[in-house]
Amino acid sequence: MSESRPGFTPQEKVLLYRYYEFYRALETGKRKPGTAAQKHFVAVCQGRAKAETLHEKAYAKYMQLRVTRQQQSQEGAATQENFLDYAEAPSSTRDDSSKLRRPNFAAKHRQHRQAA
C-alpha cells in the first residue's frame, strides 16, 4: 500500500494515548488555552504555526492521518454511489441465472463427448 500515512514513534503513541482528550479539547475550543504553549498548540491545530514540540508534532501527525482517512472515506462513498447506480438495475433471480447456465453446460458436455 502506498498511502502516505504518518508513522508514530512509541513516544508519540504514548503522548497521544495519554493526552488525546486534552489535545482535542484545545483543538475544538472546548478548552481555552491558558499558557503560551497551549496557545501555540492551538495555532498549530489551525495551521497558523509550525509544530515544534513533541506534543505538537504527535498531534499534527494524528490530524494528518485523520484528514487522509476522511478523504479515503469520501472517495469510498463516491465509489459506492457509482456502484449503487448500477445496482439499481433489475437484478436476475436465482432461477434466471440457472437457466442461463444450463445451455452452456449442455454445450460443453456435448463437446466433451464428441472429443472422446
Domain-by-domain residue ranges, the chain?
10-115
Provide the 10 A C-beta neighbour count for residue 85.
Answer: 9
Torsion sign (Cα): 45, 54, 18, 39: negative
More confident: 83 or 110:
110
pLDDT, position 101: 53
Q: Confidence band (pLDDT; 50, 70, 90) for 3?
A: very low
Give pLDDT, residue 41: 97
Neighbour-count burial for 19-48, b at 16+ CB within 10 Å, e otherwise = eeeebeebbeeeeeeeeeeeebbbebbeee
pTM given for the model? 0.61
Say yes or no to pLDDT of 116 above 50.
Answer: yes
Task: Output 39 or 95, whichever has higher pLDDT.
Answer: 39
Whether residue 76 has pLDDT greater than 60? yes
